[in-house]
Structure 1
Amino acid sequence: MLPTPPPSPQLSTCLPPEARLGCILAGRLELTSILGHGAFGVVYQAVDVLTNTTYAVKALPKAGLDARQKRIQGREIALHYQASQHPNVLGMQRILESPDCTFVVLEYCPEGDLFANITEQGRYVGDDHLAKHVFLQILDAVRYCHSVGIYHRDLKPENILVKDHGHTVKLADFGLATKDSVSNDYGCGSTFYMSPECGHSQPHARYATAPNDVWSLGVVLVNLTCGRNPWKKASLEDSTFRAFVKDPNFLRSILNITPELNHILERIFECDIRRRIGLDELRELIVACPQFTTFYSELAPSPPRSPVEYAPATVDAMDCAATAPSSPETDILRQSLRFTSPASQWSMFSPSSKQNSIYSTTSSDSGYDSDASYTEVSNNQPFNFYGNLIPFQEQNKGPYFTHQPYVATNITAY
């Protein structure tokens, strides 16, 4: 009798990121370097050994995920694919499955993210023409997402990738995206870019996700044109934001912006969502804006007027109503006016100010969207390219996939 063979070696379900370098996926994609780490996985640079094309590959671990986390992971893939029909959303090419990871093959943007391009490369600030060109691309990507019922909830320069020497940008990272037009998932996103209604939790209350994205776009616009954040948090506890609520022209005293851009920012940073500007009108104002910034030399070392000058007691709470007015919300806002804090770091926009995206510690997100129309990703229901995604197995195919072109209307070239 032959001896019993030893058990087959099992693939590790917790490989360190560096251990995958040099691996070839599906006999074709070689992982060559690590581009970055995130809360939900690792992103690698990869090369197609047959065509020498470079891709980014996001490795989403399977080990240790509960049912809710698996649903959220599947939702991210499905929503990103649906959104990637637009040319300014990062292209999704293939899904590859392994025992320990789902590998998402993505378009590669060699120039990094918008955050690094602003803070390290010095692009956009002082170049209104290029800033407008790029912001319109971001705006159009978000408009397309909203048109198909996708709300990003984490718009920020770190989630926007750059190529073509800074002239083309791609919206990425749909980890917090949702199909729900209203949500009670407060504190979802990144503090600098969060709207007041998203960051200010109310019992049994919900906030609209589309206006929340509009608010985030406003902060990104300030980043692009001025190289800084307008405030640290859109809360009356933040002295700079409180100064803005008191006097909408306050931003002109700390930022080198024109009256036209100041008017646009007033419309974006409207705390009452019923009066906050919509994306279509915002696009019209951006296109019509003749100049974003004043003739730019260098940033003043300190603002001409200090936000501390605006004492909390002088601010009318009704100037910052978060949603539809109600007595409990008004009372809470009035209570918050009694909070006194030092001046916020309104100019903080440097590599040290980079933020991770977060879910609220009290998040009720189950991974299900109440009005979702997509099919949940699973191994039993592989996606195909005629609306979904499939694993890549054949080695003799040409380029992975070319999307049907998205035809945008009323686009002005810059």
Structure 2
Amino acid sequence: MSTANSHDDNSKYLNNYKFIGIIGSGASGVVYKVLNVINNKYYAIKVVLNNTVIRDKQNLLDSIFNDYFENDKYNTHNEKLKNRMILNSINFHYYLTNEFNYGIKKEISNQLKVHKHKHIISVIDIYNYQITNYYNIKNTNVTFIIYDYIEMDLFTAIVEKQIFQNATDTTLIKKIFIQICRAVKYCHENGIYHCDLKPENILVDIENEHAYLCDFGLSTTEKSLCDTQSIGSTFYMAPERVIDYETIYKSAVTKSSPTYSCDIWSLGIILTNIVCSCNLWNLPDPKKDQFFKSYMTNKSVLLDYIEVSTSFYQLLTLILEPDPLKRYGIDDIIESVRNIRSFTQHGKYANVDIYDIIDDDTVNEEEIYDTDFSNGLVSHDSSETMVSLQHNDTNDKEGVFYGGQGVTVLRRPTLQHSSAPFNGNGQAITI
């Protein structure tokens, strides 16, 4: 077996972490699966080029490592260090005691404020390296963030593995969803609003029936947002992020709305994903999505559209309340889901048990570090920003007619990976 000081292969290492392969990627970052060769546990490393679009994701590590070993500052002839970068860990205190308004620093800072909760993915370590030349871009900061590794996200569990459709325990939906709600509640109690809740940003350990909230890239500490300030992914955005109050209520009651309500709305869509394996609409805008327009006029279209039970329909209308000031509270959602006796009109979820919560909101007060190399405070450049991509909506224009109601609505959108999320300026971004 390889150790930190003796490598018997050509793998790349960051301190004690051996890179295994790519998990996923975006415009400015790539996430890798890694093995800590000291404790023999798997982790995930998010590698972010600050304020720089990645030109070649498959060869990103080669670019970074080549720069590292060509740099005289790091050059070494010690064979034991071949293919291994050695960087000092950044003390978490740096992120927790400074204010950051954008970019990877803001993401890290917000997550560190809540990552001790048992249903939020933990940050294990953070490293920084300044690459001297990346495709003729000079002195670009590279941030390495090490997280606990969970193999499956909620999207995969719903669509590819069909975990909930095949589950013998009808309370599994309740267990997982209530854990997600508790994680979101803890964030709100600590002044953090996720703003991009969706199945891809929730990891699940189905064997242990455990959910983890992750990816705080769009999170904010702002308690209110201006109407139509687009933040999130279109399937999961609240209507106030797309259309203003005046459009909905014919009068400009307010020009801003509470940020926490956006997360509440997203939870309602996620619960629908889990129960029905579908999305409700592509965008909560009555001018652009015919079914959402129908829902705004007559919420009961849900009963036929996704064949939910009356009790679940009533709960959904309270969560998916277009008025953010009247939207259901998170404690009410948890209690309602715990006690609901049916989700669907037919099938296994037409009759479900009450869920007696035995879980708690334990917070882990211990920080876990890779202590072999965790010393020293590394300085950071504060100029990084998230890189924007163009968003492409999936427009499904096949209409269907629901008998007796005289309402033409769009065919139910299939549950698919969300397009790039929007930042606060209405621009789409990834990692």
Question: TM exceeds 0.5?
Answer: yes
What is aligned with 2:23?
35
Using the alignment, how far apart are the partners of 1:43 and 1:345 within structure 2? Answer: 35
- Deviation track 1:195-240 (CA, whole Å, cap 9, x = no partner) reads 1101125899333210111000000000000000112211212211
Is 1:108 the equivalent of 2:149?
yes
Q: Is the 8 A contact 1:32 1:46 kept in 2?
A: yes
* Among candidates 203, 214, 228, match of residue 264 of structure 2: 214
What is aligned with 1:270?
321
Using the alignment, how far apart are the partners of 1:91 and 1:78 within structure 2? Answer: 13
Q: Is the 8 A contact 1:79 1:150 kept in 2?
A: yes
| Letter paired with 2:164 | Y
What is aligned with 2:34?
46
Q: Is the 8 A contact 2:12 2:19 kept in 1?
A: yes
* Among candidates 305, 309, 325, match of residue 402 of structure 2: 305
The 1:345/1:240 distance shift into structure 2, 3 A limit, reads same
- Deviation track 1:334-377 (CA, whole Å, cap 9, x = no partner) reads xxxxxxxxx43423214xx43221225557xxxxxxxxxxxxxx
Using the alignment, how far apart are the partners of 1:70 and 1:145 within structure 2? Answer: 18
Is 1:356 the equivalent of 2:396?
no
* Among candidates 342, 354, 364, match of residue 291 of structure 1: 342
The 1:87/1:40 distance shift into structure 2, 3 A limit, reads farther
Structure-to-structure mapping, 1:14-413, within 5 angstroms: 22-26=11-15, 28-62=16-50, 64=52, 71-100=102-131, 101-110=142-151, 112-125=152-165, 127=167, 128-165=170-207, 167-184=209-226, 186-200=229-243, 205-237=255-287, 238-296=289-347, 305=402, 309-310=406-407, 343-350=409-416, 353-359=417-423, 361-362=425-426
TM-score by length of structure 2 reads 0.65
Q: Secondary structure at the match of 1:251?
A: helix
Using the alignment, how far apart are the partners of 2:184 and 2:156 within structure 1? Answer: 21
Identity %, equivalent residues: 29
| Letter paired with 2:259 | T
What is aligned with 1:327?
none
Using the alignment, how far apart are the partners of 1:253 and 1:362 within structure 2? Answer: 33
| Letter paired with 1:156 | K
Using the alignment, how far apart are the partners of 1:134 and 1:302 within structure 2? Answer: 34
Using the alignment, how far apart are the partners of 1:105 and 1:249 within structure 2? Answer: 46
- Deviation track 1:158-206 (CA, whole Å, cap 9, x = no partner) reads 1111114372111100000000011237121100100110112589933
Q: Is the 8 A contact 1:195 1:216 kept in 2?
A: yes
Aligned-CA RMSD value: 3.0
The 1:63/1:310 distance shift into structure 2, 3 A limit, reads closer
Q: Which has the higher strand share?
A: 2
Q: Is the 8 A contact 1:86 1:141 kept in 2?
A: yes
Q: How far apart are 1:38 and its partner, in Å? A: 2.3
Q: How far apart are 1:126 and its partner, in Å? A: 6.8
Q: Is the 8 A contact 1:232 1:344 kept in 2?
A: no
Q: Is the 8 A contact 2:268 2:320 kept in 1?
A: yes
Q: Secondary structure at the match of 2:164?
A: coil
| Letter paired with 1:107 | D
